[in-house]
């Protein structure tokens, strides 16, 4: 699996250590974010989603890869509160992708602020390449 600029995802073979991004032949965790809210209630769901990423960053409990799809792509494009947090998580070594079809659907292709444009290949290959794939 590779990203849009052609570098392999998780090319390093270093073992996962606390506070570092998981790497190696079989990576441990891929996180798929399918909404811009956590739970079902929109106002509190937005607060919870922001808090989820802040907590992940502070505790350095980082997945190898995060893929945003459906309305989740708003978090990498237009959500002014979450974008800075996601940029910090990406700077910590997490690979961040947003579904290209979803970006197009929401007319957000030119608004991507964090990570790279992804494809459904990231999901399909992720199911084989990762020990665990978590959907939120």
The domain that contains 39 carries what CATH number? 3.40.1260.10
Residue 37 domain flag: yes
Q: What is the 3-state secondary structure (H, E, C) of the chain?
A: CECCCCCECCCCCCCCCCCCCCCCCCEEEEEEECCCCCCCCHHHHHHHHHHHHHHHHHHCCCCCEEEECHHHHHHHCCCCCCHHHHHHHHHCCCEEEEEHHHHHHCCCHHHCCCCEEECHHHHHHHHHHEEEEEEC
**pLDDT tens digit at each of 136 positions of the chain:** 344 333 333 333 333 444 444 444 457 899 999 999 998 888 899 999 999 999 999 999 899 999 999 999 999 999 999 999 999 999 999 999 999 999 999 999 999 999 999 988 888 888 888 988 899 9
- Domain-located, residue 16: no
- Which range of residues forms the domain containing residue 44? 27-135
Q: What is the pTM of this model?
A: 0.79
Q: How far apart are CA 65 and CA 29, in angstroms?
A: 7
Q: What is the dihedral angle through the alpha carbons of 37, 68, 113, 102, rounded to the nearest 10 degrees? A: -100
């Amino acid at each position: 699996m590779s990203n849009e600029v052609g570098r392999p995802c998780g090319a390093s073979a270093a073992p996962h250590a606390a506070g570092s991004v998981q790497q190696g032949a079989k990576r441990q965790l891929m996180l798929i974010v399918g909404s811009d809210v956590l739970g079902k209630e929109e106002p509190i769901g937005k607060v919870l989603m922001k808090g989820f990423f802040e907590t992940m960053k502070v505790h350095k409990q980082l997945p190898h890869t995060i893929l945003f799809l459906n309305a989740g792509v708003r978090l990498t494009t237009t959500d002014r509160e979450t974008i800075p947090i996601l940029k910090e998580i990406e700077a910590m070594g997490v690979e961040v992708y947003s579904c290209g079809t979803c970006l197009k659907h929401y007319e957000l292709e030119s608004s991507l602020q964090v990570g790279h444009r992804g494809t459904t290949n990231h999901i399909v290959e992720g199911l084989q390449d990762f020990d665990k794939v978590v959907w939120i």
